[in-house]
Amino acid sequence: MRVGLLTGGGDVPGLNAAIRAVVKRGEGEYGHSIIGFRNGWRGVVDGDIVPLSREHIRNVLPVGGTLLGTARFHPHSSDGGLDAVLSTLEAERIEALICIGGDGTLHAASKVAEAGVKIVAIPKTIDNDVWGTDRAIGFDTAVEIATEAIDRVHTTAESHNRVMIVEVMGRSAGWIAVTAGIAGGAELVLAPEEPFDIDKVIKFLKHRHRAHANFSIVVVAEGAVPAEGTSMSYEAPVGQFGEIVAGAISERVKAEIERRTGFDTRVTVLGHVQRGGSPVPADRILGSRFGVAAIDAISRGETDVMTALRGEEVVLVPLPEIAGKVKRVPADLLQVARALA
């Protein structure tokens, strides 16, 4: 078979592990030809291809990013986009497509599948908010990076008697904020799942500093918002593509803390640092498992599905079941973050 492969949306560590697994398993076990599309769905629309063989995936396992490149482009949202996708796949004689992406890219995959294309999806996102899977490629590396940053911020916060705010990614779900906050020993975690009351934040910080500490660490997800009816009004600014402007919420929280407490407060925005660098072993393994499972599914004729981790097992879930849904942090994990304040 000729199998297409693309990576879409934001890059994450571990993508090259998945690409490598698809190529090695597909070529070595089944004799398939793997055709990569550069720059996500944009490459499919434009017909921008690169044949992939073992020579292309040597030494890529520890490398971050994606050797295929990526883009935030969804063909179903562009005039003529779906028709262009179908035309390219027909011209290149692509019999099935493996799509590696987050919620937006996988939603696009479901639309392309509805048009008759055989698709197997692989979830990747540092936000870990893809419905139907316990883990997505890139999440474990992002948590490792964020936790290390919080550990480092602790020493300078204590030395200078400061409140340190660490902003991490997470527009709709606070997986990085909550898990890294717990692992890094943050005093407060502000996540999108639970809009916060700034008055309670201020009260907590004043009590902590008066009672037993001269510093505090506050982890804030970029999508955190104040609760309606509380004393802090805020509307998240967005960029050209609807993305939240980095640093906006943490700078506003900083201003509120300084004004109401007088505590010296500083902000560290991790931003794209969370996406970069070498993947941790967990992401290399997960990317490899998902890549093998995806090419195996196509070879069995099982398509319109997504690879997913459920417990310790990699399973396949129907694409229509996950498209357009967001997996949020469960209440029990949020409670752990609160309990350890």
Pairing of strands 119-123, 216-221: unpaired
Q: Over the range 178-198, which residues count as b (16 or more CB within 10 Å of their CB) and which as e?
A: bbbbbebebbbbbbbbbebeb
162 annotated binding-site participant: yes
DSSP designation for 92: T
70 is in an annotated binding site: no
**Between vectors from CA 339 to CA 334 and to CA 250, what angle results, nearest 5°?**
60
Is 260 annotated as belonging to a binding site?
no
Are 106 and 323 a contacting pair, CB within 8 Å?
yes
Q: Is 300 annotated as a binding residue?
A: no
Residue pair 267/167 in contact (Cβ under 8 Å)? The answer is yes
Distance CA 250, CA 268 (A): 9
How many CB atoms neighbour CB 76 within 10 A? Answer: 16
Ligand-binding annotation for 40, yes or no, is: no
Please say whether the dihedral angle defined by the alpha carbons of residues 283, 284, 287 and 293, taken in this order, is positive or negative: negative
Instruction: For residue 247, say whether it is annotated as part of any ligand binding site.
Output: no
- Known binder of ligand: residue 20? no
Catalytic member of 11, 46, 48, 127: 127
Residue 263, marked binder? no
Residue 169 among known ligand-binding residues:
yes
Does the annotation list 306 as a binding residue? no
Whether 332 is a known active-site residue: answer no
| Burial state string for 320-332 with b = 16 or more CB within 10 A and e = fewer than 16 | eebbeeebbbeee
CA atoms within 13 A on the CB side of 304: 11
Chain centre to alpha carbon of residue 268: 20
Q: Is 196 annotated as a binding residue?
A: no
Phi (first) and psi of residue 183, to 5 degrees: -65, -35
Q: What is the Cα–Cα distance from 83 to 112, expressed in whole angstroms?
A: 10
101 is known to lie in a ligand binding site: no
Does 73 show up as a binding residue in the annotation?
Answer: yes
Is 42 marked as a binding-site residue?
no
The closest alpha carbon to 149, from 183, 187, 190, belongs to 183
Answer yes or no: is 328 a known binding residue: no
252 known ligand binder: no
- The binding site consists of 10, 72-73, 102-105, 125-127, 162, 169-171, 222, 266, 272-275
Residues belonging to the binding site for ATP are: 10, 72-73, 102-105
Annotated binding site for Mg(2+): 103
Residues with a known catalytic role? 127
Binding region for substrate: 125-127, 162, 169-171, 222, 266, 272-275
